[in-house]
Structure 1
Amino acid sequence: MLPPTQRLPQARELIEMDRYFVLHAPRQTGKTTALRTLASELNAEGDTAALMFSCERAKAAGDDVGWAESLLLDSLREAASRSGWPEKLLPPDDWPRVTPGSRFGAALSEWCRRCPRRLVLFFDEIDALQGNSMVSILSQLRDGHNARHEGHPFPTSIVLCGLRDLRDYKVASGGEPDGSNPASPFNIIRKSLRLSDFTAEQIAELYGQHTQATGQEFTKDAVDRVFELTQGQPWLVNALANEVITEMEVSSTINIAQVDEAKERLIRARATHLDALVARLHDPRVERVIEPIVAGTWPGTDTSFDDDVSYVHDLGLIRGTRELEIANPIYREVLLRVLGDRTERFVKADPHSFILADGRFDLPRLLQEFVVFWREHGEVLIRQEGYHEAACQIILMAFLHRLVNGGGQLDREYAAGTKRLDVLVRWPYTGPDGERLMQREAMELKVWRTNENDPTPDGLAQLDRYLDRLTLSTGVLVIFDRRPQAPPWKERGGFEQATTPSGRQVTVLRV
């Protein structure tokens, strides 16, 4: 385990300054571990009583403020009783009996009045609070924070830990989403803290601890591959290593091929963390952001879209709020697989029938079979697909996945505004002399939309650049015609040869 507090150097500084602030990050990134460790360090110094407790129970209370307060105070007391603190630091035996809506703030004041140390509280899973309960609790924290200047006893520092960024708490606690409003304690700092993902060096350090403990090593290529696949997402970094060591029972040095196999196993198993992300895909706020990324189109520009982007970023699904890209290759693959589930059920072709006598994969035949599939099912599948703008890309990806993934792999690249989706088919096979070889086939997907020019020239140039990166001499450009004047469905699916700007001979498929 990496030293948790080293990932949050600013947190300690803000606590020493008696600040109230927000720590946010996607699930399974180490927030709880970091705060638990920070609380232990503060308690060991002797002048602070630092306590972390979970707000998760209060989710059941919904808008019932009094019930939410009771559940939070129960969680607070139980966490304090488990802390091993001496009696003088514990909360009072009875909380003050005051009107619901004031009980939580009054309870914290009474505790601070009796406690001989400065009290620091970490509200873990603060997102569990709902509606009026969230507003009430944050308002009480605001009032208590402001009353400290008049000598009123109240916690010296409070940290709200959850998925949400600062803006949401400012609004809920009575402040403005932007600018400074002294009525909200969460306007004290302009930006909340975000627990970052691991760097490549941190992954190497983490895996190095395993090597020191067991003697089992990771090759440098394997560590680099983990960073490439996960972009440092902590749960994925740990899950890949656990899959190789525990589930696959690899006892020798861990190499890049085993990391790739572990990645496939995790995705197929749809581990809990991945399933939690998948469950969000049909949330309208998530769909508004993810759909243009998959489709390669330009997203909306209104302020509500900016809010959606921040929300999806806080979930950990996208890398940043400016360049709209899926957070890492594993998530990128999971999203398209899940969105293509319905299409895969329509694919009846036998994957083994596409393997040639020499062991290579017959991509030209697959594309011919896709034409037949598209003519028969494309119109229906597009109508059924929730992500309507990205339907063509999702359907072809599902078709490829169904027929390639048994023996090969698909690498996908897509981002908002690119107007394309890049696909690389990787198919391992055995050469005539018994050597292990890798067949690579590149494809570029484009959509011809209403009131747009034929995307073929742009597509050929983009495919050229993609082939340059891959050092391949040929590829396939697939153009989906979504215009009203497109040919009838039964007539779609023409193949032609074309030349890219650099002189490569490529195949163009129009469907």
Structure 2
Amino acid sequence: MRRFGTQGRVYPERHYVVSRTEEIADFIDRIKDGRYVVLFAPRQTGKTTFFRFAVDTLTATSSAYFPIQLNFEAYKNLSAPDFYEVLYKRVRREIEQVSRKREGVPTEALTRFLSNAKFTNHIAMMEFFEAFADLLESHDKSSKVVLIIDEFDGIPQAVLSDFLHALRAIYLSDEKRCPHSVGIVGVKSITQLNYDRSVSPFNIQDEFHLPNFTHQQVQELLAQYTDEVGQPFAPDVIDTLHRQTAGQPFLVNRFAQILTEELNIPKTETITMAHFAKAHALLLRENNANLTHLLTNIRRDPRFESLLMRIVSYDRGVQFTLHNEIIAELATYGVITEGTDGVCEIVNPIYQYCIIQAFQPLINGLEGDYFSEKSDTDFIDYLTPLDCS
């Protein structure tokens, strides 16, 4: 039986999965159009899973695309020479693996080419891809390289600018581009990684937004469990689960995990709001990876506390603008978002509760700094009511 996944990448054969069909189709259209796509979103939002599914879908529907998938997570402290040495080894391994899948074994020409190649810097990398494009074209004129880089935040600062300049030069080249398309995935944006605050060398990027699950997607995810096990969720449970999480992928799956695995609800019973209330209480008390990561991020800078408490405490709100460094950083961490009225909002009631709890010892007895003495409002009033009737 499959499960709801909360630990890293999910696999359709082992986990219940939101298909994200429309988002994948959009991404593939951009790849085919030769765009250099960037996706920056908080951790545990399904970025890696999404890109893997998208690449699998692309290659399953067309043999014209040659995917090279990399991950920079462990590269941060490498020197520039070591970075390019490791990068070449990973690129070579990916090329060999893809070739084996398509040809059975790498061709003699490819083996000879890879044995003679190496990366010493960004220029050597550009020359490698130019030569690789020629090799592919001699075998299949329609073949196009798609380069996907996950955990791009791990790129060493010493190589960041030159690496991006190299990709930009390839993108703007009049000749046949290799890579034809690039997908960059991470938490911090290119601007935030560009610590010297110079003009970004990667202004050709096409930004891709991966939204949280919609209500319909949450419903479809839970329906997969019901179809397999026969245990339904009451409609108000689905509504409340989506409202409390705002569709945040980890939280949705964690709620479902508690409800289906940890509360020992008989499989013959419908999962009701009474069950959900128990799951809600358990989730708020536990130290799961997502909430721990949230608390780590909001404690990174003392200025975060002041802004977050203004957001949850002041009726007049705080105007949302990514030109404000603190607002932009909290948005990057997936803590706040822009509300319909243009002001900052905590992204979901679960996070809002945790933020208030995290700062409660610091503000206990100091509510006057956040609320008027004439007001009967308290922090608990800012939580979304949980109707268990």
Same structural fold, with TM-score higher than 0.5 when normalized by the shorter chain: yes
Is the counterpart of residue 134 in structure 1 residue 134 in structure 2? no
Q: In structure 1, what is the equivalent of residue 23 of structure 2? A: 7
Residue 334 of structure 1 deviates from its aligned partner by 1.6
Q: Distance in 2 between matches of 1:309 and 1:212?
A: 42
Aligned residues: 349
Q: In structure 1, what is the equivalent of residue 275 of structure 2? A: 258
Residue 226 of structure 1 deviates from its aligned partner by 0.3
Residue 21 of structure 1 deviates from its aligned partner by 1.8
Decide which of 159, 175, 180 is 2:183's aligned counterpart. 159
Which structure has the bigger radius of gyration?
Answer: 1
The percent identity for this pair of structures is 23
One-letter amino acid of the counterpart of residue 262, structure 2: E
Q: Distance in 1 between matches of 2:299 and 2:124?
A: 38
Is the counterpart of residue 447 in structure 1 residue 369 in structure 2? yes
Pairing 1:319-334 to 2, within 5 Å after superposition? 319-320=337-338, 322-334=342-354
Q: Distance in 2 between matches of 1:234 and 1:104?
A: 36
Is the counterpart of residue 213 in structure 1 residue 233 in structure 2? no
Pairing 1:36-115 to 2, within 5 Å after superposition? 36-44=52-60, 45-61=62-78, 64-83=79-98, 84-86=101-103, 87=106, 92-94=113-115, 96-97=117-118, 99-115=120-136
Post-superposition Cα deviations, 1:439-462, rounded to whole Å, max 9, x if no partner, equal: xxxxxx65379xxxxx345x26x7
Tell me: CA distance 1:174–1:71, structure 2 relative to 1, closer, same or farther (3 Å).
Answer: farther
CA RMSD of superposed structures (Å): 3.4
Q: Distance in 1 between matches of 2:74 and 2:171?
A: 24
Q: In structure 2, what is the equivalent of residue 440 of structure 1? A: none
Tell me: CA distance 1:241–1:188, structure 2 relative to 1, closer, same or farther (3 Å).
Answer: closer
Residue 79 of structure 1 deviates from its aligned partner by 3.8
Residue 106 of structure 1 deviates from its aligned partner by 3.1
Residue 313 of structure 1 deviates from its aligned partner by 1.0
Decide which of 246, 251, 257 is 1:236's aligned counterpart. 251
Q: Distance in 2 between matches of 1:302 and 1:337?
A: 23
Post-superposition Cα deviations, 1:207-264, rounded to whole Å, max 9, x if no partner, equal: 1111111111100011011011101001110110011111222232111222222222
Residues 190, 202 of structure 2: 8 Å contact kept: no
Is the counterpart of residue 120 in structure 1 residue 146 in structure 2? yes
One-letter amino acid of the counterpart of residue 316, structure 1: G
Residue 119 of structure 1 deviates from its aligned partner by 0.5
Q: Distance in 1 between matches of 2:59 and 2:127?
A: 24
Decide which of 279, 293, 296 is 1:279's aligned counterpart. 296
Residues 35, 52 of structure 1: 8 Å contact kept: no
Post-superposition Cα deviations, 1:117-159, rounded to whole Å, max 9, x if no partner, equal: 1001111111111322222321221122223x1x265211001
**Higher RCO (CA < 8 A, seq sep 6+):** 2
Q: Distance in 1 between matches of 2:306 and 2:122?
A: 36
Residue 299 of structure 1 deviates from its aligned partner by 8.6
Q: In structure 2, what is the equivalent of residue 338 of structure 1? A: 358
- The structure where strand makes up a greater share of residues is 1
One-letter amino acid of the counterpart of residue 217, structure 1: P
Decide which of 332, 335, 339 is 1:317's aligned counterpart. 335
Tell me: CA distance 1:302–1:40, structure 2 relative to 1, closer, same or farther (3 Å).
Answer: closer
Tell me: CA distance 1:54–1:294, structure 2 relative to 1, closer, same or farther (3 Å).
Answer: same
Q: Distance in 1 between matches of 2:373 and 2:299?
A: 32
Residues 46, 249 of structure 2: 8 Å contact kept: yes
Q: Distance in 1 between matches of 2:320 and 2:220?
A: 43
Post-superposition Cα deviations, 1:271-312, rounded to whole Å, max 9, x if no partner, equal: 112111211122126446424324539899999961321221
Q: In structure 1, what is the equivalent of residue 8 of structure 2? A: none
Residues 4, 30 of structure 1: 8 Å contact kept: no
Secondary structure of 1:202's partner? Answer: helix
Q: Distance in 1 between matches of 2:131 and 2:197?
A: 24
Q: Distance in 1 between matches of 2:190 and 2:77?
A: 24
Tell me: CA distance 1:36–1:80, structure 2 relative to 1, closer, same or farther (3 Å).
Answer: farther
Q: Distance in 1 between matches of 2:336 and 2:39?
A: 18
Is the counterpart of residue 145 in structure 1 residue 163 in structure 2? no
Post-superposition Cα deviations, 1:379-415, rounded to whole Å, max 9, x if no partner, equal: xxxxxx4xxxxx24xx68xxxxxxxxxxxxxxxxxxx
Secondary structure of 1:69's partner? Answer: helix
Q: Distance in 1 between matches of 2:370 and 2:264?
A: 48
Q: In structure 1, what is the equivalent of residue 324 of structure 2? A: 306
Q: Which runs of 5+ in 2 are unaligned?
A: 1-16
Residues 64, 144 of structure 2: 8 Å contact kept: yes
Decide which of 28, 34, 39 is 1:18's aligned counterpart. 34
Q: Distance in 1 between matches of 2:370 and 2:257?
A: 44
Secondary structure of 1:245's partner? Answer: helix
User: Which of 96-105 and 331-340 deviates more?
Assistant: 96-105
Tell me: CA distance 1:80–1:243, structure 2 relative to 1, closer, same or farther (3 Å).
Answer: farther
Residue 188 of structure 1 deviates from its aligned partner by 5.1
Residues 219, 253 of structure 1: 8 Å contact kept: yes
One-letter amino acid of the counterpart of residue 71, structure 2: S
